[in-house]
Amino acid sequence: MLQLGNRSPFALERTLTPRLITVTTWSISQVAEKCVLSQHTLRWYERIGLIGPMARASDGHRSFTDADLDWITVITKLRETGMPVSDMQRYAELVRSGGGEAERLALLKRHREAVRRALAAQRDCLKLLNTKIDVYTRRTRERADAGTEPSQGRDQECEPPS
């Protein structure tokens, strides 16, 4: 508590203050920039039911809330993982309905398995790239140390299969 001169203590934590509840809204161009999507993509997402229907400002323009941005982040991540649009639409429909949690869970688990398979395939590709880079790095270093030029013919290990 704060003591002011010889007056009684003043309890700042008990001071009444007006509560102001504000909702931040964003225009479609602001959302496009924040989410790194085009305005066209956002309109398409609304048209196919992945978002919205969006609230409209008094001028008729779409008005996005922070909750809309959070949802757009979710569907963007699902899309980045390669989820088919039809599955995204079903997921969005289930979320909007407030039910279907068992179906949502099954859909997400199925997709997680697809993502795991894709990651394993990418790891195999990365391993191949690392091997090739190591081979060419070693060869380039050996040739530089020996002062020789690389051969003009193709390397046998790089030949495409017939």
**Residue pLDDT, tens place only, 107-158:** 999 999 999 999 999 999 999 999 999 999 999 999 988 887 766 555 556 5
- Using DSSP's 3-state secondary structure scheme, residue 95 falls into helix
Q: Give me the pLDDT at residue 15, please.
A: 56
For the chain, the average pLDDT equals 86
For residues 9 and 3, the answer to whether their CB atoms sit within 8 Å is yes
pTM above 0.75, yes or no: no
Total Cβ atoms within 10 A of residue 89: 15
Task: Give one word for 17, left, alpha or beta, with left for phi > 0 and alpha for psi -120 to 50.
Answer: beta
Q: Which is it for the CA torsion 95, 97, 102, 107, positive or negative? A: negative
Percentages (nearest 5) of helix, strand, coil residues in the chain: 60, 5, 35
Q: For 7-27, how does the pLDDT look when each residue is reduced to its tens digit (9 = 90+)?
A: 555 555 555 666 655 668 999
Q: In one letter, which amino acid is 127?
A: K
